[in-house]
Amino acid sequence: MRSILRTVVVASAALGTAVLGAPAVAAAEEPTAERRPAVESTAVQSTVGYDVSYPQCDRTLPGDAAFAVIGVNGGIATTENRCLADQWEWADDSSGAVPAQPRAQLYVNTANPGEVREQVTTWPSRGVNRYGVCDGGNSAACSYEYGVERAENDVRIVLGTLGDLDGDAAIDSPADLVGLRWWLDVETMNTWQTDGAAAQRNNRATLEGMTDHLESVGGRVGLYSTGYQWGEIVGDVPSWSSLHGLDSWLAGARSLSGAEANCADDPLVDGGRVVLTQYVEDDLDHNRSCVAGVRWPGSVPSGSRD
């Protein structure tokens, strides 16, 4: 997960994809079963959460995770984090010391390349939804379909990659998706439409499409951003939107104390709560639960995912 404080990888829209956030760290080779990410040992149970993705493929991961959020994508929305399986197993081994937080969670990159759709291969050409008929143009209807298709691809990645794992960590059937926590990573460094209120409407439609599909398979969706970035990309969210009421994970803090203070900030959308805040320490994203004492509605006990 890229916070606004981290180095980012910029992929040109001409390559047919959105720019996605992650620290600019590349691994030299594909991990194997014998090269699982190393884990630091610790004798003290903590309440710290972490989020990691492909830039941490060769990095020693902390041994004190109470919970962890793993990136599904590998730098752009249409690709896969090559270390997804190993990192998911690490997350599944988290202590669960924060009852309010699912022990292992996922985040996915988001974008809307409608303004450069002639440069991409993934822009939809058909579909019918709440915004009308998608005919391949730069419309809210096609933006919604784009979001649905990105979420469908994310689900395929998860089932295809995590289905091969052993034991409780495996996600190999639609039933395993029920109750799974998904975060939508929404940041200005991604490719978004920018031309005023209509652009914000289209951007919102993409996130609604992603949310609706992930919820249709039993997922629980939340929003990751900062208040500023969210305002620039999405703007106000009407009460009828499927984004209304979603919980927030706020980025931007430089320290634990800053993350704790951000727990009191407004959520990204009305009706939701700030349930996580992110801060950077030792060049690694750390996370503070803002609901440490109360289990989220619909969440599962520590040690289980569904």
Least confident of 21-35, 91-105, 276-290: 21-35
Query: And the tokens for 16?
Result: 């047919």
Domain architecture of the chain: domains with CATH: 13-25+43-289 (3.20.20.80)
pLDDT of residue 64: 96
pLDDT of residue 185: 97
d(CA 274, CA 264): 8
Higher-pLDDT residue of 150, 301 = 150
- Provide mean pLDDT across the span 66-83: 93
pLDDT digits over 13-39, tens only? Answer: 333 333 333 333 333 333 333 445 655
Residue 147's H or E segment, with its range, is helix 140-162
Query: And the tokens for 79?
Result: 């690709």
pLDDT of residue 201: 98
Q: Is the predicted pLDDT of residue 112 greater than 80, yes or no?
A: yes
pTM, two decimals, is 0.84
What is the average pLDDT value for the chain, to the nearest integer? 85
pLDDT digits over 231-275, tens only? Answer: 999 999 999 999 999 999 999 999 999 999 999 999 999 999 999
Q: Identify the band that residue 58 occupies on the pLDDT scale cut at 50, 70 and 90.
A: confident
Residue 262 · residue 235 · CB < 8 Å: no
- Provide mean pLDDT across the span 187-199: 93
d(CA 158, CA 221): 15
Three-class SS state of 85:
helix
pLDDT digits over 210-221, tens only? Answer: 999 999 999 999
Q: Is the predicted pLDDT of residue 189 greater than 90, yes or no?
A: no
pLDDT of residue 77: 85
d(CA 304, CA 99): 11
Q: Is the predicted pLDDT of residue 74 greater than 80, yes or no?
A: yes
Higher-pLDDT residue of 77, 141 = 141
* Of 193, 56, 61, 207, the residue nearest 120 (C-alpha): 193
Enumerate residues 6+ apart whose C-beta is below 8 A from 281.
255, 256
